[in-house]
């Protein structure tokens, strides 16, 4: 586990699920964590209290990071209260279940904004500080759906996550000389609210390891990337053997 004392981390969409696990893991490693939420204020407060109860440091911040003004407000509030952001985990997103015959233009736009545009906005707003300090870690949460098409969710979801991986490589190439690494983690099926319908449908039986993953296992991959200054532009697959990159 990397030593992250005196580092400030922002995890978008971290009131529950994978984001919550990442926030907790970063706090356990010593980081001061900004827990971002959209509508689940009570859950975000509970995450902060849980981190504080084990000696960690965290604070909750509400914002819809798919809008530029909201993302800018969030970054400003985090830096005012906690300090300059050293670690950004772009986890916020949406998974609207839509078939080919019922997906709308609005569904597509909302998914791209939530899953891809939000990562662009938040990344752009922390870059100047990271580059000036010659240190930064950006981790984008992708999905196995970027490679297999995310047929169980929607074409928009698969496209948004594939875009995340392209965005990751593009930023990594440009930021490597500045000491800023940019990587992605692509989970397979994970035991979260989003994954429960697939778990109940028996999908884990088709995963080589025989089960769904946990949020903690995804968080471990994020910590690996945060602690390694020589890995950049990579997508780490954590999917129980469901897909080999």
Across 171-198, average pLDDT: 93
Cβ atoms within 10 Å of 178's Cβ, excluding its own: 15
* Separation of first and last alpha carbons in the chain: 25
With tokens 């965005």, the residue in question is 167
C-alpha angle 211/213/214, rounded to 5°? Answer: 130
Across 114-140, average pLDDT: 98
Residue from 37, 157, 171, 230 carrying the catalytic annotation: 157
Inside any domain, residue 88: yes
Rounded distance between C-alpha atoms, residue 146 and residue 116, angstroms: 12
Inside any domain, residue 243: no
Inside any domain, residue 191: yes
* Token pair belonging to 66: 């798919």
Domain membership of residue 128 as a residue range? 8-238
The number of residues in the chain equals 245
* Token pair belonging to 145: 């759906």
- Across the chain, mean pLDDT equals 94
C-alpha angle 59/91/189, rounded to 5°? Answer: 125
Span 110-125, pLDDT tens digits: 999 999 999 999 999 9
The predicted pLDDT at position 192 comes to 85
The predicted pLDDT at position 151 comes to 59
Span 14-59, pLDDT tens digits: 999 999 999 999 999 999 999 999 999 999 999 999 999 999 999 9
Q: What is the b/e burial string over 107-120, where b = at least 16 CB atoms within 10 angstroms of the residue's CB?
A: bbebbbbbbbbbbb
> What percent of the chain shows pLDDT beyond 90?
82
Inside any domain, residue 122: yes
| This prediction's pTM | 0.94
Inside any domain, residue 1: no
* Token pair belonging to 118: 């939000």
Q: 88 burial class (0-12, 13-18, 19+ CB within 10 angstroms)?
A: buried
Inside any domain, residue 59: yes
Count of structural domains within the chain: 1
Alpha helices in the chain (DSSP H): 17-28, 41-53, 68-81, 105-112, 118-133, 145-148, 155-175, 196-200, 215-226
CATH number at residue 90: 3.40.50.720
Inside any domain, residue 2: no
Span 212-236, pLDDT tens digits: 999 999 999 999 999 999 999 999 9
Q: Say whether 157 is catalytic.
A: yes
Inside any domain, residue 245: no
> 145 vs 85, 133, 190, 193, 213, CA distance in Å?
29, 35, 13, 17, 15
């Amino acid at each position: 586990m990397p030593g992250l004392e005196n580092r400030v981390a922002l995890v978008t969409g971290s009131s529950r699920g994978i984001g919550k696990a990442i926030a907790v893991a970063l706090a356990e490693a010593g980081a001061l964590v900004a827990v971002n939420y959209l509508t689940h204020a009570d859950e975000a407060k509970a995450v902060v209290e849980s981190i504080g109860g084990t000696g960690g440091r965290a604070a909750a911040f509400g914002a819809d990071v798919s809008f530029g003004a909201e993302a800018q407000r969030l970054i400003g509030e985090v830096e005012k209260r906690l300090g300059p952001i050293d670690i950004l985990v772009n986890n916020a997103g949406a998974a609207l279940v839509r078939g080919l015959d019922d997906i709308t233009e609005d569904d597509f736009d909302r998914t791209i904004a939530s899953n891809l545009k939000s990562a662009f906005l938040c990344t752009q707003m922390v870059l100047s500080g990271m580059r000036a300090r010659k240190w930064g870690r950006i981790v984008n949460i992708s999905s196995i759906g970027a490679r297999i098409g995310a047929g169980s969710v929607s074409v928009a979801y698969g496209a948004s996550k594939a875009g995340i991986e392209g965005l990751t490589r593009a930023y990594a190439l440009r930021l490597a000389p500045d000491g800023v690494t940019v990587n992605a983690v692509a989970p397979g099926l994970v035991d979260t609210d989003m994954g429960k319908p697939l778990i109940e449908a028996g999908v884990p039986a088709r995963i080589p390891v025989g089960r769904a993953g946990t949020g903690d296992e995804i968080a471990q991959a994020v910590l690996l990337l945060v602690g390694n200054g020589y890995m950049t532009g990579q997508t780490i697959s954590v999917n129980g053997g469901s897909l080999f990159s």
